[in-house]
Structures are given as structure tokens and as C-alpha cells.
Amino acid sequence: MQQWISKLSEQEVGKVLPNEPMSKYTTWKIGGPADALIIPENKRQLANLIRQLHEEQIPWLMVGKGSNMLVSDKGIRGAVIKLGREMEQIQFRGTEAEAGGGASFVRLSIMAGKEGMTGLEFAGGIPGTVGGAVYMNAGAHGSDVSRIFKSAEIVLETGELVTYNAQDMDFSYRHSILHGSRGVVANAIFTLKEGDRLEIAAAMATYKDRRRKTQPLQQPCAGSVFRNPPQDHAARLIEAAGLKGRSIGGAQISELHANFIVNTGQATAEDVLALMELIKDTIASKYDIALVPEVYFVGER
């Protein structure tokens, strides 16, 4: 075991799992081992962990539900942080919803609906965590996190715990300030509105049915692979280019939704990357459009 892992194991930073396979933590079911996966249970452990990693100059990254992450077959050098159960809690106060950074974004939307709170219906099909949703300014169905975000407690890369409001977050399409200024969302507060429970449930059921019919949710995948270019849709371009159903190794462009790549059983990260390159090259050649990935590749090449 590396010295820094042994040292962390003796500190109050949460559970430390050396040489942990990342395929267990990504929705693609792909990825080699991380040097160490660390699971802090609360904000204090999280801040302590990040502070120590900063002092030891150990590289680290966050994994939520692993729904927009492609992990290298060779794994990840350094630490991977996954928030523990204490940071998965959700509570409501009036029209405000407070959720830990590790809470399921889908679960938050369902609970809000049951509380008669509207504003989170769009989140019903976004399979990540609250922290990941804030980081990405996740959105669907014409709405996104920036429209309901009030504030968040964030542990900066130095281990300092700060509170950011909406103006601090620099939200734009699938972007927040955390893309340039590293930090981990420990918890977030969203401002909702009172609504009709039946109407909210009906809207969410419609969205769910649409996803079930148009997305390959029964196979390991990571959601949309590419961002939609201005005034167009990546899926339409990929399908129009004749790439729907194309495979490389165990990775396949979904027959159901052309902007999804599925793991048919034994896909590697290299299979997925090769398929992404094929898509980007083809779309650039045919339509002179540069598709931008919405998923992140992490780890050793």
C-alpha cells in the first residue's frame, strides 16, 4: 500500500478502500482500479480529507453515481472521493429543499413531488447526484439547476468550507464555476414553488414514459454522450450519418437513441473512446460540426 493511503487510513476521513475497481461505481460498468476510493460520511470528514490530499499533493476526483464518467481501463492514480450516507439526506422547509451532495437527484425530484413542490420535475430522468447536478448545471425538458438553485456549501480544494449563492456559481449550459475552481458540493438548497401533487406526478410520469420508450435504460450507459450543438440535436446528426447501431468491441451506438453508447457486456473504455472518435470524425466530415462530449474521460491513458 502506498504511504499516503496508509496515512489516510489512520485519519478521520471516512472509509478508505485501496485498489478499488471503478467499474463498480460507474453506470457504464467500465473502469480499472483507483489507487484508493475514500468515502467520507460528513462535511467534517470531507473537509479533513481534501485538506490532507491538498497538503500531500495527491490528485483526487469526485464520483457521484458515475453517470457521466468514462474511467480508463488502467484505472485512476490518486484518490477518488464518494460521499457517504450522511451526505445523502434530504429535507424540506417550506418551499425550500435541502439535499446532501451525495443524494440522488432523481430521489430528490420524487420527494419534492410528493411534498407538493414544483420545479424539480425535470430532474426525474437525471441519474446522478445532487452535487453532480450542481457541478454540471444539469438540465432537461427546458429547465436546469440554475433556475431553482439558491445556495450550496462547498469544500474547496484547500479543504475550506464556503457557501456559494446563485450569483457565485457562474451557471451556463452544462457549466458552473466548479469546472474551473475545484470544489465538492457538500449540500445544496433549492427554491421551489407550491404545486398540485397530481399535476406534478402526471408530468413526471410523462417524462418517465418518454425516457423508457426512447432511451436504452436497461443497458449500462452514461446518458447523452455529446452536447447538442446550437439549433440541432446530436442524436439526429448521428442517426442521419448512418451510425446508429454501429459497434466497436463491446460498445455500441444505441439502436434506440443515437446519442447513447451502451455496454453490450464486455465493453472497455478504449472501445467507447474509439466509438466516440468515429462519431466526432464522421459528423465533422459530413456536416462540418464539432460535437463536444458531455461525458468525462478520467484516469490513466
Exposed/middle/buried for residue 301 (C-beta within 10 Å: 0-12, 13-18, 19+): exposed
Q: Which residue, 216, 293, 296, 227, is CA-closest to 254?
A: 216
Q: Are 108 and 119 in contact (CB under 8 A)?
A: no
Annotated catalytic residues are 174, 224, 294
Distances (CA, A) of 125 to 16, 53, 108, 212, 217: 31, 34, 11, 10, 10
Which residues fall within 8 angstroms of residue 232, CB to CB, at 6 or more apart? 289
C-alpha cell at 1: 500500500
Residue 77 to residue 20: CA distance in whole angstroms: 11
Residue 117 to residue 91: CA distance in whole angstroms: 12
Residue with cell 449500462: 220
Q: Which residue, 261, 265, 269, is CA-closest to 300?
A: 269
Residue 146 to residue 190: CA distance in whole angstroms: 9
Q: Are 70 and 28 in contact (CB under 8 A)?
A: yes
Phi/psi at 287 (nearest 5 deg)?
A: -125, 0
Distances (CA, A) of 106 to 1, 122, 151, 204, 261: 37, 9, 19, 11, 21
Phi/psi at 245 (nearest 5 deg)?
A: 90, -5
